Structure 1
Protein backbone atom coordinates (compact mmCIF):
# COMPACT_ATOMS: atom_id res chain seq x y z
CA UNK A 1 0.00 0.00 0.00
CA UNK A 2 1.40 3.44 -0.86
CA UNK A 3 2.40 5.40 2.18
CA UNK A 4 1.28 9.02 1.92
CA UNK A 5 1.95 10.77 5.21
CA UNK A 6 2.28 14.40 4.30
CA UNK A 7 0.68 16.53 7.02
CA UNK A 8 -2.41 18.45 5.99
CA UNK A 9 -3.54 21.83 7.26
CA UNK A 10 -3.77 21.93 11.05
CA UNK A 11 -7.23 22.21 12.58
CA UNK A 12 -7.92 24.23 15.72
CA UNK A 13 -8.04 22.22 18.94
CA UNK A 14 -10.99 22.30 21.30
CA UNK A 15 -10.44 24.20 24.53
CA UNK A 16 -10.94 22.81 28.02
CA UNK A 17 -12.40 19.47 29.03
CA UNK A 18 -10.89 16.00 28.98
CA UNK A 19 -11.04 15.68 25.20
CA UNK A 20 -13.54 15.81 22.38
CA UNK A 21 -16.68 13.73 22.65
CA UNK A 22 -18.40 11.80 19.88
CA UNK A 23 -20.50 14.79 18.75
CA UNK A 24 -17.43 17.00 18.40
CA UNK A 25 -15.55 14.33 16.46
CA UNK A 26 -18.55 13.81 14.17
CA UNK A 27 -18.82 17.54 13.55
CA UNK A 28 -15.08 17.66 12.76
CA UNK A 29 -15.16 14.77 10.26
CA UNK A 30 -18.23 16.18 8.51
CA UNK A 31 -16.69 19.67 8.21
CA UNK A 32 -13.38 18.22 7.03
CA UNK A 33 -15.11 15.95 4.50
CA UNK A 34 -16.70 19.09 3.02
CA UNK A 35 -13.26 20.73 2.54
CA UNK A 36 -12.97 20.14 -1.24
CA UNK A 37 -9.36 21.40 -1.61
CA UNK A 38 -8.18 19.15 1.23
CA UNK A 39 -10.01 16.13 -0.15
CA UNK A 40 -8.58 16.82 -3.63
CA UNK A 41 -5.05 16.97 -2.17
CA UNK A 42 -5.11 13.25 -1.31
CA UNK A 43 -3.23 11.22 -3.92
CA UNK A 44 -5.30 8.23 -4.98
CA UNK A 45 -3.73 4.91 -5.93
CA UNK A 46 -5.63 2.30 -7.98
CA UNK A 47 -4.22 -0.59 -5.94
CA UNK A 48 -4.02 0.47 -2.30
CA UNK A 49 -5.40 2.83 0.26
CA UNK A 50 -3.64 6.15 0.73
CA UNK A 51 -3.85 8.48 3.69
CA UNK A 52 -2.83 11.81 5.18
CA UNK A 53 -2.66 12.39 8.92
CA UNK A 54 -4.64 15.43 10.08
CA UNK A 55 -4.77 17.50 13.24
CA UNK A 56 -8.00 16.55 14.98
CA UNK A 57 -9.80 18.62 17.61
CA UNK A 58 -8.64 18.59 21.23
CA UNK A 59 -5.69 16.24 20.75
CA UNK A 60 -7.61 13.65 18.74
CA UNK A 61 -6.03 11.61 15.97
CA UNK A 62 -7.48 12.15 12.49
CA UNK A 63 -6.93 10.76 8.99
CA UNK A 64 -8.01 11.49 5.42
CA UNK A 65 -8.17 8.08 3.66
CA UNK A 66 -8.52 7.12 -0.01
CA UNK A 67 -10.20 3.81 -0.85
CA UNK A 68 -9.69 2.22 -4.29
CA UNK A 69 -12.60 0.17 -5.65
CA UNK A 70 -13.04 -3.13 -3.83
CA UNK A 71 -10.88 -2.32 -0.78
CA UNK A 72 -11.69 -2.50 2.91
CA UNK A 73 -10.25 -2.52 6.40
CA UNK A 74 -11.19 -6.00 7.57
CA UNK A 75 -12.81 -6.45 10.97
CA UNK A 76 -11.17 -4.37 13.72
CA UNK A 77 -11.70 -2.25 16.81
CA UNK A 78 -10.02 0.95 17.99
CA UNK A 79 -8.41 -0.17 21.23
CA UNK A 80 -10.88 1.62 23.50
CA UNK A 81 -10.96 4.95 21.65
CA UNK A 82 -14.24 6.46 20.52
CA UNK A 83 -14.45 8.02 17.11
CA UNK A 84 -16.30 9.17 14.03
CA UNK A 85 -15.94 9.00 10.30
CA UNK A 86 -17.59 10.62 7.28
CA UNK A 87 -17.44 9.94 3.57
CA UNK A 88 -16.04 12.84 1.57
CA UNK A 89 -16.41 11.26 -1.89
CA UNK A 90 -17.94 8.07 -3.21
CA UNK A 91 -19.76 5.56 -1.04
CA UNK A 92 -18.55 3.39 1.83
CA UNK A 93 -20.31 0.50 3.53
CA UNK A 94 -19.84 -0.14 7.23
CA UNK A 95 -20.55 -3.56 8.68
CA UNK A 96 -20.55 -3.57 12.47
CA UNK A 97 -21.45 -5.66 15.48
CA UNK A 98 -24.16 -4.54 17.89
CA UNK A 99 -22.50 -6.36 20.78
CA UNK A 100 -19.75 -5.45 23.21
CA UNK A 101 -16.88 -7.93 22.97
CA UNK A 102 -14.50 -8.73 25.80
CA UNK A 103 -11.17 -7.03 25.15
CA UNK A 104 -8.94 -9.63 26.81
CA UNK A 105 -8.78 -13.36 27.44
CA UNK A 106 -10.18 -14.84 24.22
CA UNK A 107 -9.09 -15.91 20.75
CA UNK A 108 -12.36 -17.11 19.19
CA UNK A 109 -15.98 -16.07 19.81
CA UNK A 110 -19.22 -17.32 18.30
CA UNK A 111 -21.50 -14.36 17.65
CA UNK A 112 -25.19 -14.57 18.47
CA UNK A 113 -27.85 -14.11 15.80
CA UNK A 114 -28.97 -10.53 15.23
CA UNK A 115 -25.74 -8.69 16.11
CA UNK A 116 -24.85 -7.70 12.54
CA UNK A 117 -25.52 -4.17 11.35
CA UNK A 118 -24.83 -2.56 7.98
CA UNK A 119 -25.08 1.01 6.80
CA UNK A 120 -24.13 2.84 3.63
CA UNK A 121 -22.48 6.23 3.89
CA UNK A 122 -22.38 8.39 0.75
CA UNK A 123 -20.92 11.87 0.26
CA UNK A 124 -21.03 13.90 3.47
CA UNK A 125 -22.71 11.24 5.62
CA UNK A 126 -20.98 10.16 8.78
CA UNK A 127 -21.37 8.37 12.07
CA UNK A 128 -19.88 8.38 15.54
CA UNK A 129 -19.13 5.29 17.62
CA UNK A 130 -18.15 4.37 21.15
CA UNK A 131 -15.02 2.77 22.59
CA UNK A 132 -16.18 -0.84 22.13
CA UNK A 133 -17.11 -0.58 18.44
CA UNK A 134 -16.08 -3.48 16.16
CA UNK A 135 -16.55 -2.98 12.42
CA UNK A 136 -15.16 -3.14 8.94
CA UNK A 137 -15.39 -0.40 6.31
CA UNK A 138 -15.59 -1.29 2.62
CA UNK A 139 -15.62 0.42 -0.75
CA UNK A 140 -17.87 -2.00 -2.61
CA UNK A 141 -17.82 0.01 -5.84
CA UNK A 142 -16.32 -1.89 -8.77
CA UNK A 143 -14.98 1.27 -10.40
CA UNK A 144 -15.02 4.39 -8.16
CA UNK A 145 -12.65 5.57 -5.44
CA UNK A 146 -14.06 6.73 -2.12
CA UNK A 147 -12.49 9.19 0.32
CA UNK A 148 -13.28 9.51 4.02
CA UNK A 149 -12.23 11.38 7.15
CA UNK A 150 -11.73 9.56 10.48
CA UNK A 151 -11.07 10.90 14.00
CA UNK A 152 -10.36 9.08 17.28
CA UNK A 153 -10.01 10.10 20.91
CA UNK A 154 -7.91 9.31 22.70
CA UNK A 155 -5.42 8.78 19.86
CA UNK A 156 -5.43 5.09 18.97
CA UNK A 157 -3.46 3.11 21.58
CA UNK A 158 -3.88 -0.06 19.49
CA UNK A 159 -6.15 -1.79 17.01
CA UNK A 160 -7.27 -5.37 17.27
CA UNK A 161 -7.69 -7.16 13.93
CA UNK A 162 -10.17 -9.99 13.53
CA UNK A 163 -11.06 -12.58 10.93
CA UNK A 164 -14.62 -13.74 10.53
CA UNK A 165 -16.15 -16.91 9.15
CA UNK A 166 -19.93 -16.90 9.50
CA UNK A 167 -20.72 -16.31 13.17
CA UNK A 168 -17.13 -17.05 14.32
CA UNK A 169 -14.90 -14.07 15.08
CA UNK A 170 -11.22 -14.75 15.71
CA UNK A 171 -8.65 -12.34 17.14
CA UNK A 172 -5.76 -12.39 14.65
CA UNK A 173 -3.39 -9.64 15.76
CA UNK A 174 -2.95 -6.52 17.82
CA UNK A 175 -1.40 -3.53 16.04
CA UNK A 176 0.30 -0.68 17.88
CA UNK A 177 0.75 2.91 16.63
CA UNK A 178 4.33 2.23 15.51
CA UNK A 179 2.92 -0.37 13.08
CA UNK A 180 1.06 2.24 11.01
CA UNK A 181 2.94 5.53 11.47
Structure 2
Protein backbone atom coordinates (compact mmCIF):
# COMPACT_ATOMS: atom_id res chain seq x y z
CA UNK A 1 0.00 0.00 0.00
CA UNK A 2 1.42 3.43 -0.81
CA UNK A 3 2.46 5.76 1.98
CA UNK A 4 -0.22 8.23 3.11
CA UNK A 5 -0.46 11.24 0.79
CA UNK A 6 1.72 14.15 1.76
CA UNK A 7 4.03 11.90 3.76
CA UNK A 8 7.40 10.53 2.67
CA UNK A 9 7.36 6.93 1.49
CA UNK A 10 8.29 4.42 4.16
CA UNK A 11 11.88 3.30 4.02
CA UNK A 12 12.42 -0.27 2.89
CA UNK A 13 12.69 -2.84 5.65
CA UNK A 14 16.16 -2.74 7.13
CA UNK A 15 18.04 -4.07 10.10
CA UNK A 16 17.42 -0.78 11.94
CA UNK A 17 14.20 -0.87 13.96
CA UNK A 18 11.96 2.18 13.80
CA UNK A 19 11.76 4.21 17.00
CA UNK A 20 8.57 4.88 18.94
CA UNK A 21 8.73 8.45 17.62
CA UNK A 22 8.89 7.17 14.02
CA UNK A 23 5.89 4.89 14.60
CA UNK A 24 3.99 7.79 16.15
CA UNK A 25 4.86 10.06 13.20
CA UNK A 26 3.67 7.37 10.80
CA UNK A 27 0.30 6.79 12.49
CA UNK A 28 -0.32 10.54 12.78
CA UNK A 29 0.47 11.05 9.10
CA UNK A 30 -1.70 8.13 8.01
CA UNK A 31 -4.57 9.38 10.22
CA UNK A 32 -4.48 12.72 8.34
CA UNK A 33 -4.73 11.00 4.94
CA UNK A 34 -8.40 11.50 4.08
CA UNK A 35 -8.28 9.20 1.04
CA UNK A 36 -6.74 6.39 3.10
CA UNK A 37 -9.33 6.78 5.86
CA UNK A 38 -12.17 6.84 3.31
CA UNK A 39 -10.86 3.60 1.75
CA UNK A 40 -11.74 1.58 4.85
CA UNK A 41 -15.07 -0.23 4.50
CA UNK A 42 -17.09 0.22 7.70
CA UNK A 43 -19.34 -2.55 9.00
CA UNK A 44 -22.24 -1.67 11.31
CA UNK A 45 -21.46 -4.50 13.74
CA UNK A 46 -17.90 -5.82 13.36
CA UNK A 47 -14.50 -4.15 13.36
CA UNK A 48 -12.88 -3.90 9.92
CA UNK A 49 -9.23 -3.44 9.01
CA UNK A 50 -6.72 -2.99 6.24
CA UNK A 51 -3.07 -3.92 6.65
CA UNK A 52 -0.63 -1.11 5.77
CA UNK A 53 3.10 -0.99 5.16
CA UNK A 54 4.58 0.69 8.22
CA UNK A 55 7.99 2.34 8.45
CA UNK A 56 11.17 0.30 8.79
CA UNK A 57 9.50 -3.08 8.41
CA UNK A 58 6.85 -2.41 11.03
CA UNK A 59 3.33 -3.81 10.84
CA UNK A 60 0.54 -1.26 10.54
CA UNK A 61 -3.25 -1.41 10.47
CA UNK A 62 -6.14 0.90 9.64
CA UNK A 63 -9.05 -0.18 11.87
CA UNK A 64 -12.75 0.72 11.83
CA UNK A 65 -14.67 0.53 15.11
CA UNK A 66 -18.48 0.37 15.06
CA UNK A 67 -20.26 1.92 18.04
CA UNK A 68 -19.85 -0.15 21.19
CA UNK A 69 -16.99 -2.37 19.99
CA UNK A 70 -13.63 -3.03 21.58
CA UNK A 71 -10.63 -5.29 21.71
CA UNK A 72 -10.87 -6.84 25.15
CA UNK A 73 -7.78 -6.92 27.37
CA UNK A 74 -4.63 -7.88 25.46
CA UNK A 75 -0.98 -7.09 24.91
CA UNK A 76 1.33 -7.17 21.90
CA UNK A 77 3.96 -9.26 23.67
CA UNK A 78 7.43 -8.34 22.40
CA UNK A 79 6.27 -5.54 20.09
CA UNK A 80 6.15 -1.84 20.89
CA UNK A 81 3.80 0.45 19.03
CA UNK A 82 1.70 3.53 18.55
CA UNK A 83 -1.84 4.39 17.51
CA UNK A 84 -3.83 7.49 16.65
CA UNK A 85 -7.56 8.06 16.34
CA UNK A 86 -8.31 9.22 12.79
CA UNK A 87 -12.08 9.71 13.21
CA UNK A 88 -14.43 9.59 16.17
CA UNK A 89 -13.09 8.84 19.63
CA UNK A 90 -11.57 5.83 21.39
CA UNK A 91 -11.03 5.01 25.04
CA UNK A 92 -7.97 3.10 26.18
CA UNK A 93 -7.90 1.34 29.54
CA UNK A 94 -4.39 0.20 30.43
CA UNK A 95 -2.42 -1.22 33.32
CA UNK A 96 0.65 0.52 34.74
CA UNK A 97 2.29 -2.75 35.64
CA UNK A 98 4.98 -4.95 34.13
CA UNK A 99 3.58 -8.45 33.64
CA UNK A 100 5.70 -11.56 33.68
CA UNK A 101 6.37 -12.49 30.05
CA UNK A 102 5.59 -16.21 30.33
CA UNK A 103 4.77 -18.96 32.78
CA UNK A 104 1.74 -17.49 34.52
CA UNK A 105 -2.03 -17.85 34.15
CA UNK A 106 -3.47 -15.62 36.89
CA UNK A 107 -2.20 -12.41 38.43
CA UNK A 108 -3.70 -10.30 41.21
CA UNK A 109 -3.28 -6.62 40.41
CA UNK A 110 -2.46 -4.05 43.07
CA UNK A 111 -4.54 -0.93 43.61
CA UNK A 112 -3.63 2.12 41.53
CA UNK A 113 -2.49 0.34 38.35
CA UNK A 114 -5.49 1.31 36.19
CA UNK A 115 -5.14 4.11 33.66
CA UNK A 116 -7.75 5.53 31.26
CA UNK A 117 -7.15 7.76 28.24
CA UNK A 118 -9.75 9.36 26.01
CA UNK A 119 -8.36 9.70 22.49
CA UNK A 120 -10.35 12.08 20.29
CA UNK A 121 -9.68 12.54 16.57
CA UNK A 122 -6.00 13.37 16.06
CA UNK A 123 -4.91 12.09 19.47
CA UNK A 124 -2.77 9.03 19.97
CA UNK A 125 -0.15 7.37 22.08
CA UNK A 126 2.91 5.20 21.93
CA UNK A 127 3.57 2.20 24.17
CA UNK A 128 6.32 -0.26 25.02
CA UNK A 129 6.55 -4.02 25.00
CA UNK A 130 4.10 -6.07 27.09
CA UNK A 131 1.71 -3.10 27.38
CA UNK A 132 -1.63 -4.50 28.58
CA UNK A 133 -4.68 -2.56 27.46
CA UNK A 134 -8.12 -2.62 25.94
CA UNK A 135 -9.34 -0.13 23.35
CA UNK A 136 -13.04 0.73 23.03
CA UNK A 137 -15.38 2.83 20.92
CA UNK A 138 -17.79 3.81 23.67
CA UNK A 139 -20.01 5.87 21.37
CA UNK A 140 -23.53 4.58 20.98
CA UNK A 141 -23.91 6.09 17.51
CA UNK A 142 -20.63 6.94 15.74
CA UNK A 143 -17.93 4.83 14.13
CA UNK A 144 -14.30 5.48 15.05
CA UNK A 145 -11.26 4.85 12.85
CA UNK A 146 -7.67 4.47 14.01
CA UNK A 147 -4.20 3.74 12.67
CA UNK A 148 -1.84 1.38 14.54
CA UNK A 149 1.82 0.42 13.97
CA UNK A 150 3.92 -2.23 15.74
CA UNK A 151 7.54 -3.30 15.69
CA UNK A 152 8.62 -5.97 15.41
CA UNK A 153 5.64 -7.19 13.37
CA UNK A 154 3.33 -8.87 15.86
CA UNK A 155 4.81 -12.23 16.86
CA UNK A 156 1.85 -12.90 19.15
CA UNK A 157 -1.00 -11.29 21.04
CA UNK A 158 -1.90 -12.46 24.51
CA UNK A 159 -5.60 -12.13 25.41
CA UNK A 160 -6.73 -11.68 29.00
CA UNK A 161 -9.94 -11.63 31.01
CA UNK A 162 -10.32 -9.44 34.04
CA UNK A 163 -12.54 -9.76 37.08
CA UNK A 164 -11.88 -6.98 39.58
CA UNK A 165 -8.18 -7.13 40.46
CA UNK A 166 -7.64 -10.56 38.88
CA UNK A 167 -6.12 -10.71 35.40
CA UNK A 168 -6.18 -14.12 33.74
CA UNK A 169 -4.27 -15.15 30.62
CA UNK A 170 -6.90 -16.78 28.38
CA UNK A 171 -5.07 -17.46 25.12
CA UNK A 172 -2.09 -16.60 22.97
CA UNK A 173 -2.71 -15.82 19.29
CA UNK A 174 -0.10 -15.97 16.55
CA UNK A 175 -0.18 -14.19 13.16
CA UNK A 176 -1.71 -17.18 11.40
CA UNK A 177 -4.74 -16.86 13.73
CA UNK A 178 -5.75 -13.41 12.40
CA UNK A 179 -4.49 -13.35 8.79
| TM-score of Structure 1 vs Structure 2, range by shorter chain | over 0.9
Aligned residues: 174
**Aligned match of 1:50 in 48, 51, 55?**
48
Give the Cα–Cα distance (whole angstroms) in 1 for the partners of residues 90 and 28 of structure 2: 14
Cα gap change, 1:33 to 1:150, in 2 (>3 Å): same
SS in 2 for 1:178: helix
The structural deviation recorded for 1:12 is: 1.6
Task: Report the equivalent of 1:88.
Answer: 86
8 Å CA contact retained: 1:14, 1:20: no
The structural deviation recorded for 1:132 is: 2.0
Calculate the aligned-residue CA RMSD, in Å: 1.2
**Aligned match of 1:27 in 11, 25, 28?**
25
The structural deviation recorded for 1:30 is: 0.5
Unaligned runs of 5+ in 1: 1-7
The structural deviation recorded for 1:9 is: 2.5
Give the Cα–Cα distance (whole angstroms) in 2 for the partners of residues 22 and 65 of structure 1: 20
Give the Cα–Cα distance (whole angstroms) in 2 for the partners of residues 146 and 95 of structure 1: 16
The structural deviation recorded for 1:14 is: 6.3
Cα gap change, 1:16 to 1:159, in 2 (>3 Å): closer
SS in 2 for 1:72: coil
**Aligned match of 2:99 in 98, 101, 121?**
101
Give the Cα–Cα distance (whole angstroms) in 1 for the partners of residues 155 and 20 of structure 2: 17
Task: Report the equivalent of 2:36.
Answer: 38
Task: Report the equivalent of 1:129.
Answer: 127
Stretch moving more, 8-17 or 38-47: 8-17
Unaligned runs of 5+ in 2: 4-8
Write the deviation string for residues 32-78 of structure 1: whole angstroms up to 9, x where unpaired.
Answer: 00001100110000010000000000000000000000000000000
SS in 2 for 1:169: strand
Give the Cα–Cα distance (whole angstroms) in 2 for the partners of residues 54 and 102 of structure 1: 30
SS in 2 for 1:24: helix
What TM-score do the two structures reach when normalised by structure 1?
A: 0.93
Cα gap change, 1:33 to 1:165, in 2 (>3 Å): same
**Aligned match of 1:9 in 2, 6, 10?**
2
Cα gap change, 1:14 to 1:21, in 2 (>3 Å): farther
